Amino acid sequence: MSRLLIITNGPLCRNPRVVKEADTLGRAGHDVTVLAVRNHAPSEVFDTELLRNAPYRRVTVDTLPPAGGFSPTAFRRRLGQWLARRATRVFGWQSPHTLGPARPLLRQARALPADLTIVHNEVSHCVGLRLLDEGRRVAADIEDWHSEDLLPQDRVARPLKLIRETERGLLHRAVHTTTTSHALAAALHDRYGGRHPDVIANAFPLQPLPVREPAAPPVFFWFSQTLGPARGLEHFLAAWTHTRAPSRLVLLGEARGDYARELLAGLPGDFRARVSLLPLVPPAELPAVIARHDIGLALEQPFIVNRNLTITNKIIQYLNAGLAVVASDTAGQREVLAHDPQAGVLVGTHETAAFAAALDTLLTDRTALAARQHAARRLAERVYSWEREAPRLLELVETALRAGAAAPPR
């Protein structure tokens, strides 16, 4: 039994890749600890359920006070992160504290003995680089290209130089790195050199094959942790209002400010009445919720480099649930549908007339829609299932455990 430490930022329920990794490694017989940041109170209920009978333990760095109380330590951590972000925005300060509670995470990681540490997400990547300096054996998962993510206005208070240096350091020094798509792996290697990342898809365990009764009208479905801008919904709605065939739309996520109200305000009344908003659900319930719909919307925006290259949970979960996919034409999503173009349609989201025509084609031919749904599920079974990804993860970890000491600092 090897001691494995997985470090991530935020709740487990918002890090499904971490959960799958910890569960797989724990069930394989390793002693697994997940070091996470407790920073989102509503997620605690979901995390508690995830940890029930889990083959791993969770240790937290808290930036939230205890329920109904006050914690000076949590307050200082939140204040420190706020000040770090202000310093980055105003003075260009390059500090990992801008990204999260870096110092407490590093201190806690040092206190947890591990034969291999696997780091996920930005602040954890910074911690991983420090652990490499101290001689720890570290692997890194680069699920997102953090230095090439987000809208311009959201990048102002981010220490981009530090993030790039961290990405480069991990690609050259970690015992292995993993990412989500061959497109992203190639781009990271082209930019930074080092060891070529291995690809572990954002797949999920195959859920029971849904029995779908033909609905009238078909239902589009979109989900994310956050319902906010730059996720392609504005372009979808612009096209959707030009469709002639009847349909409904369901959006699931935690609305960012007044975004949901503003998004729907411009819709004609008859279309607005066909939109339903759902709150976040426990991770275990999400697959069944997705399967109740007909067409999944994967509307990643190609002008954001990371969103163009990665393959998100979204499109893979649609395939698993047997939904036909409407996907924006990004490199990552082309990679998915290249395995079976029948599973979905690629669209240029900014081309409103052509987008609307593609939607109408799906809505009016129910036989063709059913064929696409069957093709989507087959693609999940054949290529994009966790049953296929888990052995690759286990092989990488076993190889890393047999590897020598960490590479020296550069």
Q: What pLDDT, on a 0 to 100 scale, did the predictor assign at position 404?
A: 62
The per-residue pLDDT of the chain, averaged, comes to 94
DSSP 8-state assignment for residue 202: -
Q: Give yes or no on whether 3-203+388-402 and 219-382 have one common fold.
A: yes
Q: What pLDDT, on a 0 to 100 scale, did the predictor assign at position 74?
A: 86
3-203+388-402: which CATH topology?
A: Rossmann fold (3.40.50)
Secondary structure, 3-state, 113-168? CCCEEEEECHHHHHHHHHHHHCCCCEEEECCCCHHHCCCHHHHCCCCHHHHHHHHH
The length of the chain is 410
Q: Please give the average per-residue pLDDT across 81-91, as a whole number.
A: 88
Q: Please give the average per-residue pLDDT across 342-364, as a whole number.
A: 96
**Residue boundaries of the structural domains of the chain:** 3-203+388-402, 219-382
132 has pLDDT over 70? yes
* Residue of 316, 324, 289 lying closest to 388 (CA atoms): 316
367 has pLDDT over 80? yes
What does the alpha-carbon distance between residue 337 and residue 111 come to, in Å, rounded to a whole number? 44
Three-class secondary structure of residue 112 per DSSP: coil
219-382: which CATH topology?
A: Rossmann fold (3.40.50)
377 has pLDDT over 60? yes
Q: What pLDDT, on a 0 to 100 scale, did the predictor assign at position 407?
A: 52
- Per DSSP, the residues of 320-349 read HHT-EEEEE--HHHHHHHTT-GGGEEEE-T
408 has pLDDT over 90? no
- The string of pLDDT tens digits covering residues 41-66 is 899 999 999 999 999 999 999 998 87
Q: What pLDDT, on a 0 to 100 scale, did the predictor assign at position 228?
A: 85
Q: Please give the average per-residue pLDDT across 76-96, as a whole number.
A: 89
153 has pLDDT over 90? no
Distance of CA 94 to the CA centre of its chain: 25
More confident residue, 214 or 307: 307
- The string of pLDDT tens digits covering residues 382-401 is 999 999 999 999 999 999 99
409 has pLDDT over 60? no
Share of the chain above pLDDT 70, in %: 98
405 has pLDDT over 70? no
Q: What pLDDT, on a 0 to 100 scale, did the predictor assign at position 221?
A: 98
Q: What pLDDT, on a 0 to 100 scale, did the predictor assign at position 64?
A: 86
Q: Record the pTM.
A: 0.93
What does the alpha-carbon distance between residue 115 and residue 5 come to, in Å, rounded to a whole number? 8
pLDDT band for position 200 (50/70/90)? very high
pLDDT band for position 215 (50/70/90)? low
pLDDT band for position 410 (50/70/90)? low
Share of the chain above pLDDT 90, in %: 82
285 has pLDDT over 90? yes
